[in-house]
Amino acid sequence: MHPRHLLRAVLATLTALLLTGLAAGSPLAVPAGAAGEPATTTTLVVSGGTSYGVDIVLTAHVTSEAGVPVGTVTFSIDGGEVLAEDVPVDASGTASATVPADYVALARYRAAFTGDGFGDSEAAEFTYVPRAAVRLDAEPTVLRTSGVGSPLTLTLAAWVRRADDGRPVAGEPVTFKILGGQPDLFSMNGGTVVCDAVTDARGYATCGGKATLAAVLSLLTGGAWVSHPRLGGYEFTSAKVPVIGPGAG
């Protein structure tokens, strides 16, 4: 048989098989699920997560031409971690879950619908969670010295809170320094480190240290500063420490 005639015969056979399968109600006629199950479409909306620590709300909406689908939705994040499993679809075809934004990254969330008498379907959506801004509130400190030529003694303290809602930020490092000028926007390089501390459950950090009298000029021109590094889910920030003194002690 001529190759062209052979090709036509093969195409005719495949077409006949396809039409027979559709007429018999094969899976080809119901692409979303098993034979006889109505097809579904799932959409996913990701809201919240405006910054690190702000909850993300995942909302899946499942539709079908056969009516409101019955089944459950499992929410996950790329990489396979299941965030909420078998969440029932309500009477409006909606299922939702709230998850913490405990990372800083671009991530893709998935909503997989498993139907009960309906075909399965799924959807995915990207979202980006940025670092959160923090606010530093430094408490005034009194410079103390035991006499001429003796080092300066400083006891320093500051509160670290989220800039958006004022919640305390626990377990975060802060550094107290004496600088000869203003810190830049993204770091606090140079200067003399007085002490380092970590915030407690209230967002409060305190520590003490000594600085030589040679640091007095820097203290007068730049002042004492406290900073929080750009670390984990939080941005860099700094604040000037009000200084009172010197006093005896």
Instruction: Show me where the domains of the chain are located.
Output: 36-129, 134-248
pLDDT for the residue 191? 80
Which residue has 């008498």 as its token pair?
A: 117
pLDDT for the residue 246? 59
Q: What are the backbone angles phi and psi of residue 12, rounded to the nearest 5°? A: -65, -40
Token couple for 181: 């000028």
Residue type, 106: L
CB 226 within 8 A of CB 241: yes
CATH for 134-248, among 2.60.40, 1.10.3470, 2.60.120, 3.30.110? 2.60.40
Distance between CA atoms of residues 4 and 29, nearest Å? 30
- Is the pLDDT at 98 greater than 80, yes or no? yes
Q: Is the pTM of this model over 0.85?
A: no
Mean pLDDT score across all residues of the chain: 81
Each residue of 191-227: pLDDT tens digit? 888 899 999 999 999 999 887 766 766 777 778 889 9
Torsion of CA 218, 184, 225, 191, to 10 degrees: -40
Fold matches, 36-129 and 134-248: yes
Q: Which of 5-14, 114-123, 233-242 has the lowest mean pLDDT?
A: 5-14
Looking at per-residue confidence, does 214 or 64 come out higher? 64
Distance between CA atoms of residues 230 and 105, nearest Å? 15
Q: Which fold has domain 36-129?
A: Immunoglobulin-like (2.60.40)
Give the number of C-alpha atoms closer than 13 A to the C-alpha of residue 242, restricted to the C-beta side: 5
pLDDT for the residue 30? 32
203: how many CB neighbours lie within 10 A of its CB?
22
Residue type, 26: S
Sign of CA dihedral 160, 165, 170, 172: negative
Looking at per-residue confidence, does 200 or 104 come out higher? 200
Each residue of 124-169: pLDDT tens digit? 999 999 999 999 999 988 777 666 666 778 889 999 999 999 999 9
CB 239 within 8 A of CB 136: yes
How large is the average pLDDT for residues 82-101? 95
* 105 alpha carbon, distance to own chain's centre: 6
Close Cβ partners of 73 (under 8 Å, ≥ 6 residues apart): 42, 60, 62, 86, 87, 89, 95, 111, 112, 113, 114
* 224 alpha carbon, distance to own chain's centre: 32
pLDDT for the residue 80? 77
**Bond from prior residue into 246 cis (ω within 30 degrees of 0):** yes
Pairing relationship of beta strands 134-138 and 173-179 according to DSSP bridges: unpaired
